[in-house]
Amino acid sequence: MDNLNPVILNAGIFHTLTEDVISYKALDLKDTEKIHRYTSDEEVSRYIGWKLMRNREETYEHIQTMQRREGAGSHLYSSVILKASGEIIGTVMLFDFNFDVGCGEIGYVFHKDYWGKGYGTRSVALLCDFALRNLKLQKLYASVVDENTGSARILIKNGFVLEEQEKGYYQIDGKACDRLVFSKDLNSKV
């Protein structure tokens, strides 16, 4: 393991990010039940990059996989906590790092009870700030399914711009859907 890996060096900071309404914390196997509430929801899982978790054991194994990736320095994951209640409302991630050119990719997923309330926008703002300040990244990317308009809005509100549209990239429920690739220059004032 590379002790100079910026992902490993900054994981502790990532897991303690906070702002007025939400905070991050490290993924914990003790939270399997809470995380399973959204990883097992077909509506939530429809547009994300992992399969629907059919039982708690699958969610437990998925959390272990995420923890292994983080331990290897290839990904960062955090549970998103609603500070007022202490409830886990989602998961955020940074991955696909290229430190030579200063870029990485972000992802996020939230329990549907918390959609449309601004928590995704706040979470992405924290991701962007952390990526610039701690990882010294200059650009972030995010990929969304074209039908996932809520996710696209979160990115646009955070200053991401549509960079590429790949026709028929995804197959969802037997239908070809486009992949929208958004990017943000972290040094811009937007």
- The domain segmentation of the chain, as residue ranges, is 6-138
Q: What's at 157, amino acid-wise?
A: K
Secondary structure element (H or E) that encloses residue 161, with its range = strand 161-172
Angle between helices 56-71 and 6-14 in degrees, nearest 10: 130
| Average pLDDT of the chain to the nearest whole number | 95
83-130: pLDDT as tens digits? 999 999 999 999 999 999 999 999 999 999 999 999 999 999 999 999
- For position 190, what pLDDT does the model report? 54
Backbone angles phi and psi of 61, in degrees to 5: -65, -35
Q: Is residue 75 within 8 Å of residue 93, measured between CB atoms? A: yes
Could you give the dihedral angle defined by the CA atoms of residues 133, 139, 145 and 148, in that order, rounded to the nearest 10 degrees? 50
CATH 3.40.630.30 at 6-138, yes or no = yes
pTM comes to 0.94
